[in-house]
Structure 1
Amino acid sequence: MSKIESIDAKAVKTYARTEQTVSDVRSYRLARVIEQLKISNCPAILLYDPVNIRYATDTSNMQIWTVRNPSRYVMVFADGTVISWELHSCEHVWDGVDLDLELRSAVSWIFFSAGHEVESRCATWGAEIVNVMRDRVPGESRLAVDRLDPMGTSYLASKGITLLDGQAMMEMARLIKSPEEIVLMNESLRAAEKGIERMRREMRSGITEQELWANLHYENIKHGGEWIETRLLASGDRTNPWMHECSSRVLQKGDLLAFDTDMIGPNGYCSDISRTWTVDETKPTDEQRRLYSTAFEQVHFNMDLLRPGMSFSEYSEKSWKIPDLYLKNRYSCIAHGIGMVDEYPSISHQVDWTTAGYDGVFRSGMTLCVESYIGAEGGTQGVKLEQQVVLTDDGCVPLTSTEFEMDWL
Structure 2
Amino acid sequence: MDSGEQGRFGTDVYAGRLRAATAAAADAGLAGLVITPGYDLRYLVGSRAQTFERLTALVLPADGEPTVVVPRMELASLKDSAVVELGVAVRDWVDGDDPYRLVADALGGGRVATAVTDAMPALHLLPLADVFGVVPVLATDVLRRLRMIKDAAEIDALRKAGAAIDRVHARVPEFLIPGRTEADVAADIAEAIVAEGHSEVAFIIVGSGPNGADPHHECSDRALQVGDVVVVDIGGPYEPGYNSDSTRTYSIGEPDEDVAARYGVLQRAQRAAVAAVRPGVTAEQVDAAARDVLAAEGLAEVFVHRTGHGIGLSVHEEPYIVAGNDLPLEEGMAFSIEPGIYFPGQWGARIEDIVVVTADGAQSVNDRPHELVVVPV
Establish whether TM, by shorter chain, passes 0.5. yes
Change (3 A) 1:92 1:317: closer
Q: Deviations over 1:190-224 (max 9, x none)?
A: 22223222323322222221222223332333455
Q: Deviations over 1:155-210 (max 9, x none)?
A: 33233144011133332220111112111222222222232223233222222212
Contact 1:233 1:258 in 2 (8 A): yes
Q: Distance in 2 between matches of 1:317 and 1:196?
A: 28
Contact 1:225 1:267 in 2 (8 A): no
Aligned to 2:224: 251
Structure 1: which amino acid aligns with 2:193?
A: N
Contact 1:220 1:265 in 2 (8 A): no
Aligned to 1:73: 56
Aligned to 2:356: 390
Aligned to 1:54: 42
Aligned to 2:87: 100
Structure 2: which amino acid aligns with 1:101?
A: V
Aligned to 1:372: 339
Contact 1:257 1:276 in 2 (8 A): yes
Q: Distance in 2 between matches of 1:221 and 1:141?
A: 46
Contact 2:278 2:361 in 1 (8 A): yes
Q: Distance in 1 between matches of 2:75 and 2:121?
A: 23
**In the TM superposition, what is the alpha-carbon distance from 1:104 to its structure 2 partner?**
5.3
Q: Show the 5 A alignment for 1:7-406.
A: 22-61=10-49, 66=50, 73-77=56-60, 78=62, 79=64, 81-85=66-70, 88=73, 91=76, 93-95=78-80, 97=82, 98-103=85-90, 127-139=98-110, 141-146=112-117, 147-159=119-131, 160-222=133-195, 225-279=198-252, 282-317=253-288, 319-321=290-292, 322-323=294-295, 325-341=298-314, 342-349=316-323, 357-376=324-343, 378=344, 380-405=346-371
Change (3 A) 1:234 1:314: closer
Change (3 A) 1:312 1:91: same
Secondary structure of 1:41's counterpart equals: coil
**In the TM superposition, what is the alpha-carbon distance from 1:38 to its structure 2 partner?**
2.6
Contact 1:73 1:86 in 2 (8 A): yes
Which sits farther off after the overlay, 32-41 or 332-341?
32-41
Q: Distance in 1 between matches of 2:208 and 2:372?
A: 20
Change (3 A) 1:370 1:95: closer
Q: Distance in 1 between matches of 2:322 and 2:102?
A: 43
Q: Distance in 2 between matches of 1:298 and 1:176?
A: 25
Q: Distance in 2 between matches of 1:360 and 1:144?
A: 22
Q: Deviations over 1:342-376 (max 9, x none)?
A: 21121324xxxxxxx23221101111111111123
Higher share of residues assigned helix: 1
Structure 1: which amino acid aligns with 2:337?
A: V
Q: Distance in 2 between matches of 1:84 and 1:223?
A: 38
Secondary structure of 2:153's counterpart equals: helix
Structure 2: which amino acid aligns with 1:94?
A: K
Which sits farther off after the overlay, 249-258 or 90-99?
90-99
Report how many aligned residue pairs link the two structures.
361
Contact 2:31 2:107 in 1 (8 A): no
Which sits farther off after the overlay, 380-389 or 321-330?
321-330
**In the TM superposition, what is the alpha-carbon distance from 1:406 to its structure 2 partner?**
7.0
Q: Deviations over 1:87-119 (max 9, x none)?
A: 945616524722222445588xxxxxxxxxxxx
Change (3 A) 1:167 1:237: same
Aligned to 1:114: none
Q: Deviations over 1:120-165 (max 9, x none)?
A: x8xx68x422333224424561221123333433333233144011
Q: Deviations over 1:317-360 (max 9, x none)?
A: 555413375333324212221111221121324xxxxxxx2322
Q: Distance in 2 between matches of 1:72 and 1:269?
A: 26
Contact 1:145 1:165 in 2 (8 A): yes
Secondary structure of 1:382's counterpart equals: strand
Structure 1: runs of 5 or more not aligned:
1-16, 108-120, 350-356
Structure 2: which amino acid aligns with 1:83?
A: V
Q: Distance in 2 between matches of 1:87 and 1:253?
A: 60
Structure 2: which amino acid aligns with 1:339?
A: G
Structure 2: runs of 5 or more not aligned:
none
Change (3 A) 1:238 1:135: closer
**TM-score normalized with structure 2 length:** 0.84
**In the TM superposition, what is the alpha-carbon distance from 1:70 to its structure 2 partner?**
6.7
Contact 1:226 1:265 in 2 (8 A): yes
Q: Distance in 1 between matches of 2:93 and 2:140?
A: 21
Change (3 A) 1:192 1:71: farther
**TM-score normalized with structure 1 length:** 0.78
Q: Distance in 1 between matches of 2:26 and 2:200?
A: 33
